[in-house]
Amino acid sequence: MIGYLIGSIPFGYLIVRLVKGVDIREYGSGRTGGTNVFRVAGFPAGLATALLDIGKGVVVVWIARALFPQTLGWAEALAGVGVVLGHNASCFLGFRGGAGGATAAGTALALWTLGGLPGLVVGVFVLFVIGYASLATLLSGLSIALVFSIAALSGDSVPLAYGAFGWGVVLLQALALRPNIARLLAGTEKRVTLGDKRISSSDQQKAV
């Protein structure tokens, strides 16, 4: 519950309201994550959103460890799944939100930094080099799940709970990105570029 409530804090929605005075859910993909904030309000707003969303995951892990230190990693793992769920289905926004890429990466880094780094690197590379935000989120999540699971099964002192966290996150991300996955398979998914045009306050382009 702690993870879900913290994850539900809609930083992207709040930042776009502050910067552009519009509801981000009505523009672009309709999501509140850093990529859509970038499209709607520009790079600084998108970066701030991504960093704050990463921070949600880090804070949740710290809180879970402090409150429940003797759970073999399950408290942190459940809180981590909860924070991604909250980000994707915020109770403050009618159970709408983002896709959980940045929040999952932040959680993974806090759980086990070496295990979370590959997911962060994969996500950043796919986003800025290949250009598909949805694919970046999915491949980042898969990287985290695989690295955590392999480490846990090989006895690297990584709790099995962390592997379960990884696959729980992959499921949540896949559910959130169902329309994007369909467009990726059809070859119609939009790329993200630094040249994407920001909207104006009077722009009436609605979410697609």
- Whether 83 is covered by a domain: the verdict is yes
Q: Which residues of 109-133 are buried (b: 16+ CB within 10 A; e: fewer)?
A: bbbbeebbbbbbebbeebbeeeebb
pTM recorded for the entire structure? 0.91
pLDDT at residue number 200: 52
Domain that includes residue 62, residue range: 2-186
The answer to whether residue 193 sits within a structural domain is no
Q: Is residue 15 part of a domain?
A: yes
Domain assignment of residue 192, yes or no: no
Question: How high is the pLDDT of residue 122?
Answer: 96
Domain count, the chain: 1
- One-letter identity of residue 148: F
The alpha carbon dihedral of 127, 131, 137, 143 has a sign of negative
Tell me if 191 is assigned to some domain.
Answer: no
Q: Specify which residues 96 forms β-bridges with.
A: 90
User: 12 lies in a domain?
Assistant: yes
Q: What is the C-alpha end-to-end distance of the chain, expressed in Å?
A: 31
pLDDT number for residue 63 = 97
For residues 191 and 37, is the Cβ–Cβ distance under 8 A? no
In a domain, residue 89? The reply is yes
pLDDT at position 205? 52
Q: Which residues of the chain have pLDDT under 50?
A: 197, 201-204
Q: Report the share of the chain in percent with pLDDT over 90.
A: 87
- Domain membership of residue 207 (yes or no) is no
